[in-house]
């Protein structure tokens, strides 16, 4: 490669740089060859490197971000690509996220935790109420059954000594038994008809919350794509 | 040189080399003199000169020499201020480095 080929290639490589910049650079290197002297042409070309390298350095140095160098940057070739505009972008992004966390964290985190705690509380309370009602109903039934049995046994015992008392006791026993049977039927009806729908509401509620949350997350993920 | 050459040091040395001649000096000579101090490629100097010129630290003028044009670079007032700033910074820096390097030799 001679100086004309070198300059021609450099001109081509700088063709997108604008008329003035290109002319300045070409004038400089043309003069540079002349100053070095006729015999030094090959030396100069070897020292300068390829027109590609020369063009790259011009482009890199004259891009707007380098017009006012503030940061200390190295001239080693392998460090050149570090001068990208990534840094400020990341800095602002991270800064905003951190700021948002600091500002909204104390409000959002307790609110979310509070809501979740509230939901859990309602759920536990509902289950507790159902269980309590069930236990109470069973207890009442058991009481009536015991009363019926006790009155029956007492009635049988009194049958010989005091028939009138015995008949009263046996009648009471039968009433208690009737109430017990009534309660058992009511409880069975309750368990068969009402509890499944209560259970259904609970399950629907939990599944609904789950799907709502999933839908939100899903929508967010889809929105990102 | 085993030490890294930063942009600021290259700028400072380039300004100092240009400032050696009150009348200013030209590209080829600047390159050779800077290369006498720092190990930089010949292709490094033009972009630096152009940037210093665009930043207003250097001004150029053309002068006829041996039947052709030669472009001279010269420090502006702004460039002289920058040069003074770099000199002050370098003095501080090199004093600190020297103090550390030579501190151990005081006893010898």
* Nearest-neighbour CA in chain B from A91: distance (Å): 23
- Distance of alpha carbon A29 from the chain centroid: 58
Q: So what's the pLDDT on residue B90?
A: 95
Interface of B with A in 54-83 (CB under 8 A): 54-55, 68-71
CB-CB under 8 Å, A54 with B43? yes
Contact A28 B31 (CB under 8 A): no
Rounded Cα–Cα distance for residues A179 and A174 (Å): 9
The pLDDT of residue A116 is 92
Q: Residue B96 and residue B103: Cα distance in Å, rounded?
A: 10
* Per-residue model confidence (pLDDT) at position B46: 92
Out of A28, A69, A73, name the one closest to residue B46 (CB): A28
Number of C-beta neighbours around residue B66 at 10 A: 6
* B20–chain A nearest CA distance, Å: 19
Mutate to test the interface with A, among B4, B13, B39, B42 (most CBs of A within 10 A): B42
**CA distance linking residue B76 with residue A222, whole number of Å:** 58
Tokens 């015992």 correspond to A157
A-B contacts (CB, under 8 Å): 86
Rounded to whole angstroms, how far apart are CA atoms A58 and A77? Answer: 13
pLDDT computed for residue A76 by the predictor = 47
Q: How confident is the model at residue B16 (pLDDT cuts 50, 70, 90)?
A: very high
Per-10-residue mean pLDDT of chain A, 225 residues long, equals 89 88 90 87 87 88 58 45 51 80 81 90 90 88 90 88 88 90 86 78 77 59 46
Which letter does DSSP use for residue B40 in this model? -
Chain B hits for A67, CB-CB cut-off 8 Å, are 51, 54-55
pLDDT at A223 (0 to 100): 46
Crossing angle for the helix pair A51-62 and B42-54, to the nearest 10 degrees: 30
pLDDT at B105 over 70: no
B46 to chain A, minimum CA–CA distance in Å? 8
Whether the pLDDT of residue B83 is over 90: the answer is: yes
pLDDT attached to residue A63: 72
User: Who wins on pLDDT, B106 or A163?
Assistant: A163
- Spell out which residues of chain A touch residue B50, defining contact as CB-CB under 8 Å: 21, 24-25, 28, 58, 61-62
Strand pairing partners for B71? Answer: B62
When scoring B11, B25, B31, B41 by the number of chain A Cβ atoms within 10 A, the one with the most, hence best to mutate, is: B41
Residue B45: the pLDDT is: 92
pTM of the predicted model, to two decimals?
0.50
Q: A54 to chain B: which residues are within 8 Å by CB?
A: 43, 46
Query: Are A75 and B11 an interchain contact pair (Cβ–Cβ within 8 Å)?
Result: no
- H or E element at residue B80: helix B77-103
Q: How far is B27 from chain A (nearest CA, A)?
A: 7
Distance CA A161, CA A138 (A): 35
Sheet containing B68-75, strands listed edge to edge, beginning at the edge strand earlier in sequence: B25-26, B68-75, B58-65
Per-residue CA distances from A24 to A20, A31, A174, B34, B83 (Å): 6, 11, 119, 21, 24
Helix (H, G, I), strand (E, B) or coil at B81: helix
Question: How far is CA B28 from each of CA A113, A156, B87, rounded to the nearest angstrom?
Answer: 71, 133, 24
User: What is the ipTM for the molecules in this complex?
Assistant: 0.84
| Chain A CB contacts of B71 below 8 Å | 27-28, 31
Instruction: Please report the pLDDT score of residue A66 as a whole number.
Output: 54
Listed by number, the residues of chain B in 16-45 with a beta carbon closer than 8 Å to a beta carbon of chain A are 26-29, 31, 40-44
Mean pLDDT calculated for residue range B89-99 = 94
Q: What is the pLDDT of residues B18-75, one digit of tens each?
A: 999 888 899 999 999 999 988 888 888 999 999 999 999 999 999 887 788 899 999 9
| Backbone Cα Rg of chain B | 16
Which residues are CB-neighbours of B46 under 8 A, at least 6 positions away?
A: A25, A28, A29, A32, A54, A57, A58, B27
């Amino acid at each position: 490669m001679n100086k004309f080929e070198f300059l021609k290639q450099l001109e081509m490589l700088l063709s997108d740089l604008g008329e003035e910049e290109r002319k300045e650079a070409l004038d400089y290197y043309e003069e540079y060859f002349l100053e070095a002297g006729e015999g030094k042409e090959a030396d100069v070309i070897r020292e300068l490197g390829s027109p590609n390298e020369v063009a790259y350095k011009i482009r890199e140095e004259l891009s707007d971000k380098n017009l006012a160098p503030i940061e200390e940057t190295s001239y080693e070739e392998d460090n050149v690509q570090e001068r990208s505009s990534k840094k400020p972008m990341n800095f602002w992004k991270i800064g905003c996220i951190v700021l948002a966390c600091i500002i909204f964290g104390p409000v959002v985190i307790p609110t979310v935790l509070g809501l979740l705690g509230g939901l859990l509380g309602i759920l536990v309370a509902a289950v507790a109420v159902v269980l309590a009602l069930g236990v109470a109903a069973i207890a009442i039934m058991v009481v009536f059954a015991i009363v019926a049995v006790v009155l029956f046994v007492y009635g049988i015992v009194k049958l010989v000594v005091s028939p009138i008392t015995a008949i009263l006791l046996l009648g009471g026993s039968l009433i208690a038994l009737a109430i017990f049977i009534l309660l058992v039927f009511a409880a069975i009806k309750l368990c068969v008809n009402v509890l499944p729908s209560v259970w259904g509401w609970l399950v629907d509620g939990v599944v609904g919350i789950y799907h709502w949350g999933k839908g939100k997350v899903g929508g967010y993920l889809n929105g990102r794509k | 040189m085993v030490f890294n050459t930063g942009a600021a040091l290259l700028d400072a040395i380039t300004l100092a080399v240009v400032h050696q001649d009150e009348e200013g000096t030209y590209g080829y000579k600047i390159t050779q003199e800077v290369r006498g101090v720092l190990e930089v490629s010949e292709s490094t100097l033009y972009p630096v000169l152009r940037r210093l010129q665009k930043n207003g630290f250097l001004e150029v003028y053309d002068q006829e020499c041996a039947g052709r044009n030669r472009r001279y670079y010269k420090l502006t007032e702004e460039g002289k201020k920058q040069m003074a700033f770099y000199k002050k910074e370098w003095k501080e820096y090199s004093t600190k480095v020297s103090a550390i390097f030579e501190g151990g030799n005081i006893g010898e």
